[in-house]
Amino acid sequence: MFVDKARITIKAGDGGNGAVSFHREKYVAAGGPDGGDGGRGGDVVFVADTNVGTLLHFQYKKRYFAENGQPGGTKRCAGKNAPHLVIRVPKGTVVREAGTGRVLADISGDQPVVVARGGKGGWGNTHFATATRQIPRFAKPGLPGERYELELELKLLADVGLVGFPNVGKSTLISAVSAARPEIANYPFTTLVPVLGVVKVGDEESYVMADIPGLIEGASEGVGLGHEFLRHVDRCRLLVHIVDVSGMEGRDPVEDFEAINRELIRWNPEMAGRPMLVAANKCDIAPPEQVEAFGAFIREKGLPFFPISAAAHTGLQPLMDRIAALLQTLPPVAVYQPEPVPREVLLQKAKEDKYTIRVEDGVYFVEGAWLLQTLGMVDPDDYESLQYFQRVLQDSGIIAKLEEMGIREGDTVSILDFEFEYIP
């Protein structure tokens, strides 16, 4: 069963609490505080698995909670960090926050992606001993891990997408040029799930072709199967429009071509600018004058035209060669970039959850649970990301509060393990 959408709940582990403990040893008077720090909660990590081709398993398990960090111990022993919770998904899965639709991750590469970060462990009472407070009987609790309601959407990673009405020969074509073996029969909607095939070009080069099933007029509004599978066209770098020019189905090739193009643009207006080739299939049984008339119509639109017969394996090589040449000039498969949390949402959380600032040994420590989500979007090597972070700090009043407390240029600010020098 092919499932390409799912909804799940994930939660990273909470940080372990810091310990309140005092050194006890024979002949050692007033040993002082020795409570250890709590361990960090486990992250929720998504990994692309090439052995998984569907989101079916998320239909049966919908809650994924990472373990919490262990609490701190005596003798300054830190609690154990919790292991990461790894969730395996098909390559090409887009992870969105349910409700807002905000993209959190695109699992298209080989590297693991942290979607929910575990909470930082709390400090033990060792950290709170001062010259005037030598017996601190308190410690800091661990911070909570991030929690999300997620929508998972699989968008197949394919270089070339085959589109067209049912029964025009898309499955026959992909089976003729690759090792894919979709079901082929003389009736519409034979293919019920997208099919991927690898087309080899020479000894070392290849590209991935996808048969997108079920496109008919009205597909963008849910008619037929197209509403379910049009999402898989989004990533394709190049579209190959297969049209039946034989007239065996009693349809007009020109009307078919225009109808499918309308559905693609209604689904995603960006499709209007997507590169496209047109393959007139079943030319071996079509009237020559009909093939020529359709070819003239396509050429007038400025599109490359290829008369082929997938069943008879004629005309396929020029089409495959042209596809390979075009792909060399096109950008790579699109990858969705994570979207930052809207500033208004973070500012509302800042009002609700508050924050605290304390100074120790000249370092300004800023703490607040809502800041964990903010830091998750910060890339220290990206200027725009740092600018976004600075605006959040300014709008939430943190910068003003630091200045009120007497911070100076060059002083260190620490926000949940992220340290930087203050520059007014």
What are 297-315's pLDDT values in tens digits? 999 999 999 999 999 999 9
- Which residue type is seen at 105? A
Q: Does position 214 have pLDDT exceeding 70, yes or no?
A: no
DSSP of 78-114, one letter per residue?
A: PPPPPPPEEEEE-TTEEEEETTT--EEEEE-SSS-EE
Q: What is the CATH number of domain 342-424?
A: 3.30.300.350
1-154: CATH architecture: Distorted Sandwich (2.70)
The pLDDT of residue 350: 66
What's the rounded Cα separation, in Å, for the pair 152 and 258?
Answer: 32
DSSP of 29-80, one letter per residue?
A: -S--B-PPPPPPPPPEEEEE-TT---SGGGGT--EEEPPPPPPP-STTPPPP
The two beta strands, 205-211 and 195-201, are antiparallel
The two beta strands, 205-211 and 305-307, are unpaired
What's the rounded Cα separation, in Å, for the pair 168 and 376?
Answer: 48
Q: Do residues 190 and 225 make contact, with C-beta atoms less than 8 angstroms apart?
A: no
The residue that leads in pLDDT, 75 or 30, is 75
The residue that leads in pLDDT, 229 or 271, is 271
Q: Does position 205 have pLDDT exceeding 60, yes or no?
A: yes
The residue that leads in pLDDT, 383 or 171, is 171
CA dist 401 → 159, 163, 360, 420 (Å): 52, 58, 16, 16
Q: Mean pLDDT check: name the lowest of 106-115, 162-171, 284-293, 354-363.
A: 354-363
Q: Does position 226 have pLDDT exceeding 60, yes or no?
A: no
What are 388-410's pLDDT values in tens digits? 788 888 888 888 888 889 888 88
Domains 160-327 and 342-424 share a fold: no
In this prediction, residues 286-292 reach a mean pLDDT of 92
The pLDDT of residue 14: 94
The residue that leads in pLDDT, 53 or 182, is 53
Structure tokens of 38? 């709590």
Q: Does position 86 have pLDDT exceeding 90, yes or no?
A: yes
Residue 2: band (very low, low, confident or very high) from pLDDT cuts 50, 70, 90: low
Residue 198: band (very low, low, confident or very high) from pLDDT cuts 50, 70, 90: confident
The structural domains of the chain, with segments of one domain joined by +, span 1-154, 160-327, 342-424
In this prediction, residues 76-86 reach a mean pLDDT of 95
Q: How many CA atoms lie within 13 A of 156 on its CB side?
A: 28
The whole-chain average pLDDT of the chain stands at: 84
Q: Do residues 167 and 188 make contact, with C-beta atoms less than 8 angstroms apart?
A: yes
Question: CATH number for the 160-327 domain, one of 2.40.50.140, 3.30.540.10, 3.40.50.920, 3.40.50.300?
Answer: 3.40.50.300
The pLDDT of residue 187: 39
Helix (H, G, I), strand (E, B) or coil at 122: coil
% of residues, the chain, pLDDT over 90: 36
Q: Mean pLDDT check: name the lowest of 60-64, 70-74, 118-122, 346-350.
A: 346-350
The pLDDT of residue 222: 47
Helix (H, G, I), strand (E, B) or coil at 380: coil
Q: Which of 267, 215, 232, 225 is nearest to 158 (CA)?
A: 232
Q: Does position 344 have pLDDT exceeding 80, yes or no?
A: no
Q: Which residues pair with 306 in a beta bridge?
A: 279
Q: Which of 48, 94, 108, 39 is nearest to 67 (CA)?
A: 39
Query: Helices 383-395 & 343-353, crossing angle to 10 degrees?
Result: 40
Q: Does position 203 have pLDDT exceeding 80, yes or no?
A: no
Residue 283 per-residue DSSP state: G
Q: Do residues 169 and 310 make contact, with C-beta atoms less than 8 angstroms apart?
A: yes
The residue that leads in pLDDT, 269 or 275, is 275
What are 131-178's pLDDT values in tens digits? 777 888 888 888 888 899 999 998 888 899 888 888 888 888 998 888
**What backbone phi and psi angles, to 5 degrees, belong to 320?**
-65, -40
Q: Do residues 180 and 156 make contact, with C-beta atoms less than 8 angstroms apart?
A: no
The pLDDT of residue 376: 66
Cβ-proximal residues to 127 (8 Å cutoff; 6+ apart), any chain? 18, 37, 140, 360
What are 106-117's pLDDT values in tens digits? 999 889 999 999
∠ Cα 66 70 75 (to 5°): 165
Q: Which residue has the tokens 């959040």?
A: 392
